[in-house]
Amino acid sequence: MLGAGFAGLSAVRELGDVDADADVLLVDRNAYNTFQPFLFQVATGGLNPGDVTYSLRTFTGGRRRVGFRQGTVTGLDAEAKVLRMAEGEDVSYDYLIVSTGIAANYFGIPGAEEHTLTMYTRNGAIAVRDRLLTAFEQAAEHGGEEPPCIVVVGGGATGSEMAGSIAELRNTYVAENYPELDPSRVRVVCIEMLEFVLAPFDDSLRQYARGALEQRGVELRLGSAVAEVREDVVVLKGGEEIPSALTVWTSGVSAPKSLSEWGFPQGRGGRLQTEADLRIQGSDSVFAVGDVGVVDGSPLPQLAQPAIQTGKHAALNVKHLLAGEPAVPFQYKDKGTMAIIGRGAAVADIKWPFKGKFTAAVAWLMWMGLHIALLHSYRNRLAVLTNIATHLTRTGMQNLIPGETQRVPQAGRQLSDEPKAEVDPQLERQGGNA
């Protein structure tokens, strides 16, 4: 199993109790799983990084014949059935389930990769948090003369979550703790190429989300496209320049570029094309699950439920193959889609076990309840529940501390002499845990 995201751990759970004579090895470049749906809370100080991470040694330790190896895969020899590892010793397999997750897609926009941060990893969320809080501190140093502008590129679920959360941080934490700053002058801009946010949702839910963002003071630039990203400016097509102390990129995703070297067929965004049974086209032993796979030409939503279901089904098919039985086609069970906008504001389009569309506090409680339940341990659930409850109060917003980071860019100021944080760009940009 390559990758310890939703799909990977779902497969390990299914294979961990396999009765056949088989060993299961989980390979990931990190020693922990990251619960990505809560990363926007880490980025805005609502949760600690440890609240959303879980030890993979703990996960595999109690499962019979399941092992873990921390390492980075540099290549694959499909004929020899071997994974090439950066650390040296190769890993051989009889069946391989690929669940590497996704990375940011910058669509070739000049400067986007160099001058933006992403939200797909723990390190990325921490980098966003530190840059965000440092922007407030730096503006306060200069008496609030140049309040920061925060730009979020993309109006999907992640972009809406980030824009809404940053606006709430400005409206509460900044308003109460930075007398030097006028919160109304601290801009939060969300840029979306379409004419609406949350494209996968029904129009009534989109309209609610738009209203909730605008109510929190988010400047929505709908129907706008980014032409270029500079260190301190986002340039829109048409020439408008938006100053930016921090630009968060949530506009698109693609498979890790390294997969193109494996020789497997790839579809849109570099995702691996699979047959209906989730085996990669042309392979009888390699499965692709979660965000990295395209099932029989029909891409599934890049959400937790499709990842969990494909991971489990690939593991079931491995069991079938080990028993000499044919693999069976995958059928996705759509349980619905949810997105959170801010405290007490969310949208939910539920299709199972009941049908209905929900907004506001009801949808927010549904989103929180489901995602807290999906956390991997009671400790994580208790920590998140406690911190979320505290975050809803005034006192919960009074102990946000930035880590060490570089000075944020400001229009007209040279930062070449400022120290820069030693952040591995691969940790910021890689989309999956593998």
For residue 403, list its beta bridge partners: none
- Of the candidates 83, 64, 63, the residue with the CA atom closest to the CA atom of residue 1: 83
- 339: its two tokens: 């997105």
Residue 95 contacts residue 318 (beta carbons within 8 Å): yes
Rounded CA gap, 340 and 162, in Å?
9
Could you say which of 89, 114, 145, 161 is catalytic?
161
Give the Cβ contact number of residue 369 at 10 Å: 11
Rounded CA gap, 184 and 74, in Å?
48
DSSP tag of 31: S
426 Cβ contact list (under 8 Å, min separation 6): none
∠ at Cα 347 (342, 352), nearest 5°? 135
- 281: its two tokens: 């086209």
Please confirm, yes or no, whether 168 is among the known catalytic residues: no
Rounded CA gap, 212 and 224, in Å?
20
Rounded CA gap, 183 and 170, in Å?
6
| Strand stretches in 250-328, DSSP E | 253-254, 272-274, 286-288, 293-295
Rounded to the nearest 5°, which phi and psi values hold at 307?
A: -65, -45
Rounded CA gap, 197 and 216, in Å?
15
- Of the candidates 333, 329, 334, the residue with the CA atom closest to the CA atom of residue 276: 329
∠ at Cα 198 (196, 202), nearest 5°? 90
DSSP H helical ranges for 63-141: 112-115, 122-141
- Of the candidates 278, 265, 273, 272, the residue with the CA atom closest to the CA atom of residue 328: 278
State CA 315 to chain mean position distance: 24
- By CB atoms closer than 10 A (0-12, 13-18, 19+), residue 71 is middle
**What residues act catalytically?**
161
